[in-house]
Structure formats: structure tokens, C-alpha cells
Amino acid sequence: GEESVKDVLERKIKEYNLQDTINIVETGCMGACSLGPIMVIHPEGVYYQKLTPEAAEKIVEEHLLKGRVVEEYLYKGDKGKIVPQPQKEIPFFSRQVKVATRNVGIIDPLSIDEYIARDGYFALHKALKEMTPEQVIEVVKESGLRGRGGAGFPTGLKWEFARKSPGDEKYMICNADEGDPGAFMDRSILEGDPHSIIEAMTIAAYAIGATKGFVYVRAEYPIAIERLTVALNQAREYGFLGENILGTDFSFDIEIRIGAGAFVCGEETALMHSIEGKRGQPRVKPPFPAQKGLWGKPSNINNVETLACVPPIIYHGPQWFRQWGTEKSPGTKVFALAGKVKNTGLVEVPMGITLRELIYEIGGGSPTGKKIKAVQTGGPSGGVIPEEYFDTPVDYESLQQLGAIVGSGGMIVLDEDDCMVDVAKFFLEFTVDESCGKCTPCREGTKKMYEILDKITKGEGTEEDIEILENLANVIKDSSLCGLGQTAPNPVLSTLRYYKDEYLAHVRDKT
């Protein structure tokens, strides 16, 4: 609805001859999905939410012309209390720490000048003019930044492998496939701050010795593709990309490649096959991309959110990043809060925050007052975490110990009405659909698991079926070719771990 609000604003501002004093800036997503469309009036910082074209008209006439705040569209807190500046008072906003999304919702993504005004390309300048590639890698290693695409692999170490891998032609790839259902952090960064990715990729390319880069972005993100294209042209024009960047002898350029909607193409080896024009299927590792990547050359691949953290780390130094998070999982992470929670949307928080803080304080708890039962983290590769474990800190190791993962940052909150067998079936249906078919355990096994789950949820299963389901899940996990099959059984295994009684109730009560 934002477009129609903007149209009215433009028309009204012109009508009242305010165009010289009032500037409309179209930004990327501000994160609060349940409140959109949103408009913030600066410099006072008044936050209007749930806007309509009529609301926009009223705000121009009252707020902009007469300086009177329109209460009707302000944020309403507990018991309907009006909060004009929720950014300062409401935990959903005030508890966030924005590193990867530092410019999203603030700058105009189509303006390179606005990016530069917020320290954009300063890190690139510092890296190219004051640091050797090895020093850049050292800073990233010291920061402890770990891959935000799911696996949590240390970014600096991966860069070092690519740097040390012999070869004069190397590639730097950005993974913007973002296939996890419910995840939209990468989209928000690309749409809201595309220059941060260009700057980070150029720094990474300098560090590993790459001359060519690719952003692999899914076709379902047309706005991201459009804004990235504009940003790439601006970066070339300003000398941040192309031949002899910033007058140095380092040259690097980036091309966009558009994916065609296959989840498996987010897996790094499948993604590289897809860029090469081949069928997007994974292959056995090793060799890893750092040794043999795109067209057999040493390559480095990073997720969008990982890359978005790089420029401020280089600019402010590794200890700056380490002021947030835990020893082993430093920094911040963007999560997509969804499901049975009051405040849905994107939030960037320090790692190590507890699930309880995330779901109750930031998320605002249940919207209906029903009892929250669990949270499903990490999308189709993840698992459920029951409410009694909500004091667990959100970091890579802690969630893994509970049978779930941080993954790309999806968090779906479930309440007492949700059947955990249905939840497992929902995610498994997705992986069955998205299995590429190359390896047998994933192709045949996940289908078989789905059939058993279907039988159980229809009240036609037996206790033996539950046993077969569990055995099959473990076999698929151990024997699949890539991460898709290796993690597909996780939702089933984790619901079996904590909610076996619900499986048994289905088979015993025939419901």
C-alpha cells in the first residue's frame, strides 16, 4: 500500500506548495510488517503507521501544514496508549541493534550520495588505501563474523582459503537466493541498501584476489534486482567498481545472475552450476568452492547479510563488532519473526539474546493471549524449541544442542492450537517439492517420510510407522548428498524429540 500513500503525499505536497521545504524519501522496509505502511516525519521523528491514502491526506493537512500530530495513525501501545516515538520506547524498536540493516528504512536506496553520507564506501577506501589483503582478512577473522546463510562458517577463514588457493582468476559470489520460506532479511538489505553489498563484495574481492563477481538473486525479487542494477551503475560512475578502483591498480566488476526459483540453487555448488548455465544441482564436496568453484576456479561465496556486516567491521575494527553477541557468535543477527506473535517482522538483535526476550519482549508475546508452545527456528532445515527452553541464548551452538539451528533467521512462533505433527508435515512437504532428485535418499526418502506423516495425521498410522519414520529420518540425514537432504528430516526429528506424545495421540486415538 506504500505506493498509493506516496502518490497522495506527492500530490498534496505540491497542492500546498510545500515541495521546497518537504522532501519525500522512499526507503527500504522498516521491519515492522504488522504496522505497515509506515511513514516517519523528520526531524521530530513522529512515527505514523497503518497508513491509507486518506491518512496521508490528513497528515499533510494537519501535521505538515499546521504542525498538529494526527493521533489516529500513531502507534498504539498497551491498552491503546498512544506512543508518538515508538522507536525510543517500544522494545520491538529500542532493543534492536542495527549493523547489517544500518541503512535500511533510513536512506533512499537509489541514492549513492545518501549511502556515502552514512559512511558508505569509507571501508572500501580504507581497505584499498591503507590495508593489505592479508590485513583485511585478519580483521574479518578477528571480528568472529560467521556466515549468516545458515551454516555459520567463519567468514575470515573462508576468505583466507580462497586467497591462498592458487590461481590468477578467482570469483567472488554473493548468495541472494534466499529460498527459506518466511525469510526476507536478504531481500530487505538488497532493496533498502544495495550499495552495502557492492562495497562488501569489492572489499572481499580485494582480499581474496578476485577480479569478477556475481550476485545470484532470485527472480521473485524484482525490486531488489532493479535497485541493485541502479546501484551498480552508480558505483561504476563514482569509481568504486570497474577498472582501477579509487585510482589503485585493483580492478573488479559485478554481474547480476537471476535464479529461477529452485530452493536447491541456494546451495553453493548448485548455485555455481546454475551461474555456469548448467542444471542447478549440487555436487559432492570436497573440493570446496575455495579450491574449485565457478568454472573450476577458486571462488568465495557469502550470504547477503554476512556481506552487509563487512564494511562497518573494516571501518570500525573487529572489537567494535565484538561488543555485541557471544564469544563464539559475535555481532548481531537479523530474524524474521512470524506466526503467533504480536509484532511480526524483521528484527536485528545482538546474538546471545534469549528466545524469551526475542519472543515476549521484542515480539510482544501472543496476540490472542493463548499459551505460546514453541518456536520453529531455521525454516525447513531447522527444528522446534519448546517454551521451557526459551531462556536459551540464541547462538549457533546453543540452538544446535537443542536440535534446531539459527539457519537464515526464520522464527515461527507456535501456540497451544498448533499440532506439531502438522508443523513437521508442512516443512517436509516443502523439501519434498524442492528436492532436486539427484540423490536417492533425498528424492525417495523424503517422499516416503511425507507419506507416513500424512497417514499419521489422518489417523491411519501405527506406532510402527512412527518407528520407521524416525529410522528413515536418520538414514536420510546421514546419506544425502547435500544440505537439503541432510537437514530435511530436522523438523520431524525435533518434533519427535519433544512432542512424541502428539504423534502417539494421532495413532492411538485414530485422529
Which x/- pattern, by CB under 6 A, does the window 454-493 give for ligand FMN? ----------------------------xxx---------
Amino acid at 301: I
Q: Which is nearer to ligand FMN, 127 or 307 (CB)?
A: 307
The half-sphere exposure of 490 on its side-chain side, counting CA atoms within 13 A, is 27
Q: Which is nearer to ligand FMN, 59 or 189 (CB)?
A: 189
The secondary structure of residue 48, as a DSSP letter, is E
Angle at 255 between CA 286 and CA 335, to 5 degrees: 70
* Of residues 87-126, those binding ligand FMN (CB under 6 A): none
Q: Which is nearer to ligand FMN, 220 or 357 (CB)?
A: 220
How many residues touch ligand FMN under the rule CB under 6 A: the total is 22
Of residues 103, 281, 291, 303, which one binds ligand FMN by CB under 6 A? 303
Q: How far is the CB of 180 from ligand FMN (least distance, A)?
A: 7
Joined together, the cell numbers standing for residue 130 give 591503507
**224-227 CB contacts, 8 Å cutoff, 24+ apart:** 224/176, 224/187, 224/190, 224/191, 224/194, 225/256, 225/258, 227/109, 227/110, 227/190, 227/191, 227/194
- Residue 26: phi, psi to the nearest 5? -90, 120
Which x/- pattern, by CB under 6 A, does the window 256-285 give for ligand FMN? -------xx-xxx-----------------
Amino acid at 317: G
Of residues 150, 318, 352, 445, which one binds ligand FMN by CB under 6 A? 150
Q: Please say whether the beta carbons of 29 and 192 come within 8 A.
A: yes
Segment lying near ligand FMN (by CB under 6 A), choices 111-119, 176-184, 311-319, 409-417: 176-184
Cα 290 from Cα 171, distance rounded (Å): 9
Does residue 151 bind ligand FMN (CB under 6 A)? yes
Q: Which is nearer to ligand FMN, 86 or 150 (CB)?
A: 150
Q: How far is the CB of 351 from ligand FMN (least distance, A)?
A: 14
Which x/- pattern, by CB under 6 A, does the window 177-196 give for ligand FMN? xxx-----------------
The half-sphere exposure of 340 on its side-chain side, counting CA atoms within 13 A, is 16
Q: Please say whether the beta carbons of 311 and 199 come within 8 A.
A: yes
Q: Which is nearer to ligand FMN, 30 or 482 (CB)?
A: 482
Q: Can you give the binding site for ligand FMN, defined by CB under 6 A?
A: 147-151, 153, 175, 177-179, 263-264, 266-268, 301-303, 306, 482-484
